[in-house]
Structure 1
Amino acid sequence: MSQIQSEGRTAVNEALRQVLSRDETAYGLWVTSEASSVTEIAGALGLDWVCVDMEHGYLDYRDIQGHLTAARGTDLTVLVRPPTQDLEPIKRTLDIGAHGVIVPLINTAEEARAASQHAYYPPRGRRGIGGERSVTWGLELDDYVRNANKELLFVPMIETQSGYENLDDIMSVGGVEAIFLGPGDLSASRGAVGDWEGPGVAEINLDILKRARGRGIHAGLVARGTDEAMMRRDQGFGMVALGSDIGLLIRQIRSMTNALDRATQHHSWF
């Protein structure tokens, strides 16, 4: 019986980091469906990353495991947005094998530092050591524990006015290589509830991007269509989600049905 070999393995997030190090845009997908085939398709299409969203909707830890299994054997980075900044969801997400976390609603450096403690092993953090999926049920525990602190991604979300005002302090927290923007919630926190980019938010997005790039930190956000994805790429965003899985499905179906309706209205049967 052959033994498990750890030598020569591809480091977690290596492919994504290579794209970012070349100052190129890494394209991803926001995953809201439990269907692991979504992540399998994302990997087959050559996307760089996905983020599986637990903050909103109904996905649970079993769903996360399915998405991670679907990405096995690819270079796809699978990030998870946990429902809160607390220890339990961050720890369990990483124990399942997530390649990193995008942590919601970070308002201060203190919040970012506390959440990062949940993601890293001592002495950098306070994450406990378990024998779950991330360590192949203990078979690769030494290798995983030795490399996790430098391989995993901890990505704070800047999605409130307070987060924006404390941006420099948040980006000063150790281990922050990337931040993710949430224009919709930022708009809401400024009084424009329901707007994706309320008054002043477009300018704030670009200011965040500029200040992050000045520190060598990558900035990401979700695009709402091809034109916006190209615009964000040209602006210099390092991580651009092409949309959400369900959102893309709705967009394509709506585009086709609208086109069919227009064609039907102009078609004469007599």
Structure 2
Amino acid sequence: MMNEALRAKLANKETAYGLWVTSEAPAVTEVAALLDLDWICIDMEHGYLDYKAIAGHLSAAAGSKLSVFVRPPSQDLEPIKRALDLGAHGIILPLVDTVDEINAAYQHFYYPPLGRRGIGGERNVKWGLDLENYVTQANKELMFVPMIETITSYENLDQILAVPGIETVFLGPGDMSASLGYVGEWEGPGVADINLDILARATAHGISSGIVARNTDEAIVRRDQGFGMVSLGSDIGLIIRQVRMMAEQLGKNTIGHRWF
């Protein structure tokens, strides 16, 4: 079953650790599975990843317990449908503001009668060899995760949390900060309190929350705060973090900073 291991952790109030994937190299996903991470998110919203890269990552995760999400570049039919047809286990939908946007995306995400997703013979159904099993199970096994990352979505939070089918929401502190006028800040003034308020209100609805941690200390804080899904960072960001630490310990100056 898709997302079985992840759902079990969330149901048991355990923290599920993940990785944000921005590189096309499928070895990243293979290593994430070997390291027993719980989930990854392949990011199409930013960067240059295409559907061929997504297929490579999904192939690398095959046979593992790893949940593979895709963050599409928009809320439109085409990227949601194609990511799912490639075999993604769920969608992390960016920049959700309203219930109407969720309901519109649901139409692309779910098969009838919940939506109007079309049936094809692609990777998700093993080229038609597993079509009946997939299409009868997909509506209950796939995970739809809206991102709460604007002040408008925060203002509409109670309505969003009441939408049937929402099991997890994912927070975006950087974009939340930008929507409040603090562009380029990870947690601008007041955003830390907003994060905890979203977490508390989601928990009251029986919904888990996810967030990105920028370092180990922050991951511990997010775990202890009760976030169900915690990203340890991005693949490239983790390389930068490790190389910078080693280089600085060796006396070499490095430049710049990266969010995660």
Give the TM interval when normalised to the shorter protein.
Answer: over 0.9
**2:177 aligned with 1:187:** yes
Partner letter of residue 261 of structure 1? G
- The yes-or-no answer on 1:197 pairing with 2:201 is no
Alignment of 1:157-196 (within 5 A): 157-196=147-186
Secondary structure at the counterpart of residue 137 of structure 1: coil
What is residue 112 of structure 2 aligned with on the other side?
A: 122
Deviations 1:135-157 (A, max 9, x none): 00100000000000000000000
Tell me, what secondary structure is at the counterpart of 1:205?
helix
Among 32, 38, 55, the residue aligned to 1:42: 32
Distance 1:116 1:234 in 2: 32
**Aligned residue number for residue 266 of structure 1:** none
- Tell me the residue number matched to 1:31: 21
The separation in 1 between residues aligned to 2:172 and 2:47, in whole angstroms, is 17
What is aligned with 1:6?
none
Distance in 1 (CA, whole Å) between partners of 2:26 and 2:45 is 18
Q: Which amino acid aligns with 2:214?
A: R
SS in structure 2 of the partner of residue 29 of structure 1: strand
The amino acid of 2:185's aligned partner reads D
Q: What's the TM-score, normalizing by structure 1? A: 0.93
Question: Partner letter of residue 252 of structure 1?
Answer: Q
Letter in structure 1 aligned against 2:140 = K
Deviation at 1:112, TM superposition (A): 1.1
1:236 matched residue in structure 2: 226
Larger radius of gyration: 1
Q: Does 1:219 align with 2:209?
A: yes
Among 121, 140, 145, the residue aligned to 1:150? 140
What secondary structure sits across from 2:126 in the alignment? Answer: helix
Superposition pairs for residues 132-147 of structure 1, below 5 Å? 132-147=122-137
Paired AA for residue 142 in structure 1: E
Quote the Cα distance in structure 2 between the aligned partners of 1:116 and 1:81: 15
1:68-87 CA distance string (max 9 Å, x none): 00000100000000000001
Distance in 1 between the 2:164 and 2:118 partners? Answer: 19
The residue that corresponds to 2:59 in the other structure is: 69
Aligned-pair identity (%) = 68
Distance in 2 between residues matched to 1:172 and 1:82, nearest whole Å:
23
Deviation at residue 116 of structure 1 after TM alignment: 1.7
Q: Which runs of 5+ in 1 are unaligned?
A: 1-10, 263-270
Can you list the C-alpha shifts for 1:159-214, whole angstroms capped at 9, x where unaligned? 10001000111111121100000000000000000000000000000000000000
Aligned partners of 2:10, 2:241: CA distance in 1, in Å?
28
Residue of 32, 35, 44 corresponding to 1:54: 44
Task: Supply the RMSD in Å over aligned alpha carbons.
Answer: 0.9
Q: Secondary structure at the match of 2:187?
A: coil
